[in-house]
Amino acid sequence: MKGLIYRDFCLVKKNWIPVFCISVGSVIWNILVQLSFEYGNLKKLVEENSGSGELARTVIYYMGLYMVPYLALILMDTLSVIRADLPVRWATNRKIFPVTALQWTASIYSIKVIGLLISVVLFLINGSVMAHMTGNSFGIYEFNNMLLFACFYLAFDWVQMAFLVRVRTEKEMNSASASPLLVLIPMFAVLFPKAKAYSAKFETLIPENAAIEAQEQIRLTKGLLQSEFGVYRDAVAPYLWLIVLALFALGFYLTYLGIRRREK
């Protein structure tokens, strides 16, 4: 199977390098931004505009914390492999080799596991450094948040893989690329009314030109960002690893079924 993984890796390498560089670059960028909040120009911004400055600092902190693994999760995306396989009719031609459908599936998922592990490592490095610099906590709570993001990403991924292994043409490829909408649209349908409700609440609490205590602003912002999300996350926290494994297993199985299928 090493040969198959090597083949897939050669095909994703071209996309991995920029994604990896951007992810590592984001870690460095986060560190620089936090240093600026502590010692540089952004510190002045916070001091001069205590309310909105602290708000900005909080938002930037959380974006920095979770953006890095989300970017790195793109490393799990094997769309580029499937796209590269179309011109050489790999879906047909690979069947001349003595490789079982299980081995093919395992080689694709090996790339995904490597991508996921890199994402986790980058998240841990990024989070630890940022937490140390800002005095914020970084532990199981944040790790579970990251796993929850990974679950959403995996859900998109297995829907996409289920379609991708069946594609034979560019047109089918484009349809398959859009298949994660099957997960995204219902998610939107559920979350959009909640987001709208919070937005309305926030607007009533911060009327135009009203002055609000900085601490109250931060508490409110954190509350808005964490409350309902935190409820869901805490409810599933004990099962997150199981959910991750289950999503991986489901994606693996669907991919295997697609690869095993013979053409008509």
Is the Cβ of residue 81 or residue 118 nearer to another protein in the bound state? 81
263 is a contact residue toward another protein (CB under 8 A): yes
CA distance 65 to 143: 10
Tokens 């009203």 sit at which residue? 210
CA distance 42 to 149: 29
249 is a contact residue toward another protein (CB under 8 A): no
Kindly identify the residues of this chain, within the stretch 167-196, that bind another protein according to CB under 8 A: none
219 is a contact residue toward another protein (CB under 8 A): no
Of 33-41, 46-54, 69-77, 79-87: span binding another protein (CB under 8 A): 79-87
Q: 159 CB contacts (<8 Å, ≥6 apart)?
A: 179, 180, 182, 183
211 is a contact residue toward another protein (CB under 8 A): no
Of 1-9, 135-143, 160-168, 245-253: span binding another protein (CB under 8 A): 1-9
Which tokens belong to 87?
A: 């011109």
CA distance 235 to 144: 11
| Interface pick for another protein out of 135, 171, 210, 264 (rule CB under 8 A) | 264
Of 17-25, 33-41, 92-100, 132-140: span binding another protein (CB under 8 A): 92-100
Residue pair 66/220 in contact by the 8 Å Cβ criterion:
no
Of 7-15, 72-80, 139-147, 201-209: span binding another protein (CB under 8 A): 7-15
Alpha carbon 215 to chain centroid distance?
31
Q: 196 CB contacts (<8 Å, ≥6 apart)?
A: none
17 is a contact residue toward another protein (CB under 8 A): no
| Interface pick for another protein out of 39, 41, 48, 96 (rule CB under 8 A) | 96
Residue pair 68/20 in contact by the 8 Å Cβ criterion:
no
Encoded amino acid at 63, one letter:
M
100 is a contact residue toward another protein (CB under 8 A): yes
260 is a contact residue toward another protein (CB under 8 A): no
CA distance 59 to 140: 20
Instruction: Please work out the total of residues on this chain that contact another protein, with binding judged by CB under 8 A.
Output: 27
Contacts with another protein by CB under 8 A lie at 1-4, 6-7, 10-11, 14, 84-85, 87-90, 92-100, 262-264
